Amino acid sequence: MANNVIRVGDVGIMALSDGMLEFDLCNFFPTIPPDSWRQYESHLTEEHKVRFNLGSYLIRSGGRTVLVDTGLGPKPADAPDAPWGQLMHDFQAKGVPPEDVDTVVMTHLHRDHVGWNLVAQGEKYVPTFPHARYWMSAKDWEVCHEPDVQPQRFPNAPACVWPLAELGLVELMKGEHSITRELTALPTPGHTPGHMSILITSQGERALVLGDAAHSPVQVHETDWVSRADMDPELTRQTRRALMERLEREAIIVAAGHFQAPGFGRIVRLQGRRYWHGL
């Protein structure tokens, strides 16, 4: 089996990627002293930066095809060398027609999770996944319309999220939500107010699509390390701590979109510390 696909009971999970993003530590983790990174150098690039995969997951469950998150979107015309904008190439390379997707679920509405929802055609937008309905949390839908929050926190929502409503494609999730018999969206708030992770349960096996409840394997142990992208730092910490404890205790497979691709792994404990163990 290719390493970009895992099976969880009867469910198949395929990792896809839109490319990657890199940040200076002082930019992405402004509150973490540089010295604290010393023991985690292996998680940094040679230039001492953090590198994030822009992962999406295609989940086949009970005849349904569910895409979780849609990357950062097409390369801007003025940045043809941008290291992202690959998602549709990856669909093609893996032999998945976009028409197969009947459900898009966004873990949250930050720009690197909604980018390929729509494509602009002249004055109008058309859905990239023509047979899909688009699910998101009601809380994020509300907050991405707040004028004092949207420009900074949800900069591409006007192009990548809002037009979905005019097309009649928006489905809102309030609290825990059952997507298929085997998939459940769980509220994991903090990173955004309505952030969701997707739990897969089939034949006694389980996996969780994490979303941005963690950006780096370092946060599996350092659950208090928040980034500038975490909108509510204290709630982010609480959610991440509870989640990591549960993932470890219940030995749930994790699909972490921002960890090194394909992002499949488990949370294990060695000598009193939690670690990320890639599959």
Residues that bind Zn ion (CB under 5 A): 112, 212
Judged by CB, which is closer to Zn ion: 200, or 210? 210
Taking the complex as a whole, how short is the minimal distance between the CB of residue 9 and Zn ion, in angstroms? 27
b/e map 8-43, b = 16+ CB within 10 Å: beebbbbbbbbbbbebebeebbeebeeeebeebeeb
What's the closest the beta carbon of residue 212 comes to Zn ion, in angstroms?
4
**Could you write out the DSSP letters of every residue in 51-85?**
EEEEEEEEEEETTEEEEE---S-SPPTT-TT-SB-
Give the contacts of 147 (CB within 8 A, at least 6 positions apart). Answer: none
Nearer to Zn ion, 179 or 214 (CB): 214
> With respect to Zn ion, which residue has the nearer C-beta, 201 or 239?
239
Q: Is 116 exposed, middle or buried (0-12, 13-18, 19+ CB in 10 A)?
A: buried
Q: Considering the complex, what minimum distance in angstroms separates the CB of residue 49 from Zn ion?
A: 16
Total residue length of the chain? 279
- Nearer of residues 127 and 263 to Zn ion, judged by Cβ: 263
Collapse the DSSP code of 1 into the 3-class scheme (helix H, G, I; strand E, B; otherwise coil) and give the result.
Answer: coil
Beta strands in the chain (DSSP E): 5-8, 11-24, 49-61, 64-68, 103-105, 118-121, 124-127, 133-137, 170-173, 177-178, 183-187, 196-202, 205-209, 253-255, 264-270, 273-278
Q: Which C-beta is closer to Zn ion: that of 18 or that of 90?
A: 18
* Smallest distance, Zn ion to C-beta of residue 185, A: 16
Q: Compute the least distance from the CB of residue 229 to Zn ion, in Å.
A: 7
Cβ nearer to Zn ion, comparing 112 with 230? 112
